[in-house]
Every structure is written in structure tokens, then in C-alpha cells.
Amino acid sequence: MIEIPKTMKAMVLTAYDRLAKMELPVPAPGHGEVLCRIHSVAICGSDPKMIHGGYANVNWPPYFPFVMGHEWAGEVVALGPGVTQFQVGDRVAGEAHKGCGICDNCKKGNYSVCLNYGRDGHDGNADMGHRHYGFAWQGANAEYNVYHVAAIHRIPDNVSYDVAAMCDTAGVAMHGIALSGITPGGTVVVIGPGPIGLCALQIAKGMGAGRVIMVGRGSKLAFAGKMGADVLIDFEKEDVVRRVLEETNGIGADEVLECSGANDSPMKACYMARKTGKIVLTANYRDDRPSFQLPLNTIVFNELKILGSKANPNVSGTVLNYFSNGIINGEALVTHRFPLEDYPKAVDLFENKRDNVIKVVINP
């Protein structure tokens, strides 16, 4: 029997640009839910943006004070009514999205684009709602949190909590690749050697890509070389499109995975891709920066396929296995760890790219 306290420490966003450590009640699991003790929370690129109010237009967070955090791993410590799939003591990693389960998109497995998004169940009809943990529903920046069983997955024994907390990060890369596929023996371009791009690099290699070309700059680009990238292109020093075409004998890449969020990258990706090539957009783009027109005739004449990719549906089991069998070297990606009370310091380091940071993990 695990003793559960009545209150817990949590890092709370009390207003835009204001974080505070607070003592909150430990939530109780409802029907189909489990209470988890949070061991690790990875900081995502969306977290600083939410802290600064960058998602106010989509109502994230929906209220203050709000507990953020959506990339996490922990231990099941209590079961709600009706839970038979998990046991107390299970080591689990979570997803940010739990779909309503009844709309047409959810029935097809597309629960990250649930048609009931926005109906989060706070109206008393929890089973009909979509939950977006850490964005519209309480997240993991605390010692405990409640999750629906549809949003958690068991962690392989040889995968640490810190690595498992990147299930969401690797899952974003995996979902994009699942949409596009990988051409066996072909050439893949990954734009952006951040955590998602570095996972995409390793997954593409593991799925049989002949070569992976990484586009980036600085220490992260160099790190991508250590993680297996075959060609490194520094966009500050070279014409990226010209170099990709040179590397592919003028043909272009089979797949281009855009993981940087730079507003000009989707346009460049169209010029890098071969005829009938596939371009996957996994990043969030800046509406407050100039946009670049896509080369529509190039898309039409070359029969390019441009795929938008949101979150990580139906891939968590796969990426946890990839962590387990070494296809993704998760331990190498976690460069910094902080206790919960140092969360503001951790966000500052991550956001401002200090100390060769790749992925930062909080240990509540």
C-alpha cells in the first residue's frame, strides 16, 4: 500500500510570466483514471511560449493558476473505479492528448485532432471530452497528477523515467515519419537539430534511410553528427537547397522532415524534395513573423506531398521500444536535470539555449 499525502508541491503559472511554487491538494482519480507520482517532466519548446502568453489566442492556459507540463513519466500509485489495465507500481509515460473516443476522428485513431477538442469534460461529462494535459487540463509540473488510462503507456524495464519523459518528443518525430514513411536506402533531410529533429534523425536511420542530411547551426548541428547524421549543412554558411541538390545529384531528397519552426523552411523544403517527394511539417510556426509563400507550381509540377503532423497519436509504444532497444539514444539527449523548485531557472536555460542544452528534465 502506497501512502499518498493530502497535499503536494506544484510549480504553477499564476499569470503570464509569473511562476510560483505552491502547495495544492493531491487530486483523486475518477472512473477510468489513475493517480501517478511524477518522477520526470521534460521541458518542451511550447512551454516557454505558453509562459509568455504566446498561446493566449487559443486559450492556453484556460485559467490561472495553472499547472503546466505535458512530457512526463512516473509511477501509478492509485487506481480509480473501473481500472483493470494497470496496477499500482506500474512505471508509465504519458501523452498530452486523450481524445473523446466517440467522434469520427477518434474512431479512426486521429485523437490528437479530436472533433470535440475544447469540450474537455469540465462540464461534468468527462467521458465525452477531449483532454489536452498541460495545455487545457492540469499537467505534470507537480508531485502527483491524475491521468486517464487512454493516455498512459508502460515503460520498458531498461528505460529510465528521465528518458521515458521524452516519449512525447520522440513521438512527434515518429508520427511525422509514420505519415510520410521512410524510403529504404533513400535520402532524408531533417531541418532543425533540436530534440524532435534529433529523434527524427535516429528514427529515420533505424527505419532504413540510406543517408540523413541534417540542416542546422552551431553546437546542435555538431551534436547531430555525433548522433549519426551523414551530412551536416550549416544554414548560416551555405545555400541549403543548393547543397542538398548537390548531395543528391540534382534529384532531391525522398523525404524532408521540417522540425525547426522557421517560417522560411517549408518553402525551402519544397525545393529540396525530389519529384513525388514528401514534406512533413512537425513544428509550430510564428504568426508574428513574415511568412514565405510556398512555390505552388513546384508543388504541382513535382507532385509533392505536404503533410501536417500534430502531436504523437498511436506511436508511444513504438518510441518506448525504440528507447529500449537503442534505436533512439535517449540518455544522450537529456543534458540537464533540475528539481521542481528550480523550474524557472531550467526554463531560462532551455529557452535561451545556454550550456549546449538539448533536453531539460525536471525531477519533482
pLDDT at residue 32 greater than cutoff 80: yes
Parse the chain into domains and list their residue ranges: 7-169+313-363, 170-308
pLDDT digits (tens, 9 = 90+) for 33-77: 999 999 999 999 999 999 999 999 999 999 999 999 999 999 999
CATH architecture of 170-308: 3-Layer(aba) Sandwich (3.40)
Report the residue count for the chain. Answer: 364
Task: Tell me the average pLDDT across 172-194.
Answer: 98
pLDDT given for residue 124 in this prediction? 55
Using an 8 Å Cβ cutoff, are 190 and 214 in contact?
Answer: yes
Burial class of residue 135, CB neighbours in 10 A (0-12, 13-18, 19+):
buried
Q: Do domains 7-169+313-363 and 170-308 have the same CATH topology?
A: no
pLDDT tens, residue by residue, 285-334: 987 777 789 999 999 999 999 999 999 999 999 999 999 999 999 999 99
Q: What are phi and psi of 318, to 5 degrees?
A: -65, -50
Average pLDDT for 209-213: 98
**Pair 359, 334: CB distance under 8 Å:** yes
At 193 the three-state DSSP class reads: coil
Query: So what's the pLDDT on residue 287?
Result: 79
pLDDT recorded at residue 199: 98
Please measure the distance between the N-terminal and C-terminal CA atoms of the chain and give it in whole angstroms: 21
Lowest mean pLDDT among 51-55, 80-84, 123-127: 123-127
Report the pLDDT value the prediction gives residue 286, as an integer from 0 to 100. Answer: 82
Asked: is 7-169+313-363 a CATH 3.90.180.10 domain? The reply is: yes
Please name which of 119, 118, 137 lies closest in space to residue 128, comparing C-alpha atoms: 119
- Residue 123's pLDDT is what? 57
Closest CA to 40 of 329, 340, 325, 318: 340
Residue 139 vs residues 27, 117, 121, 212: alpha-carbon distances, Å: 12, 17, 15, 35
Contact 128, 102 (CB under 8 A): yes
- Gap between the Cα atoms of 153 and 150, Å rounded: 8
SS3 114: coil
Residue 122 has pLDDT above 90, yes or no: no
Average pLDDT, the chain: 96
Compute the distance between CA of residue 78 and CA of residue 62 in angstroms, rounded to an integer: 27
* Tens of pLDDT, residues 250-298: 999 999 999 999 999 999 999 999 999 999 999 999 877 777 899 999 9
**Residues contacting 208, CB < 8 A, separation 6+:** 182, 184, 185
Residue 15 confidence class, pLDDT cut points 50, 70, 90:
very high
- 307: enclosing H helix or E strand: strand 305-308
In degrees and rounded to multiples of 5, residue 133 shows phi and psi of -60, 135
User: Looking up cell 521512410, which residue turns up?
Assistant: 182
Among 168, 162, 161, which Cα is nearest to 360's? Answer: 162
Q: Which three cell numbers stand for residue 50?
A: 505558453
Compute the C-alpha angle 358/49/270, nearest 5°.
70
* Residue 95 confidence (pLDDT) above 70: yes
CA distance 151 to 131: 9
Specify the 3-state DSSP secondary structure of 198: helix
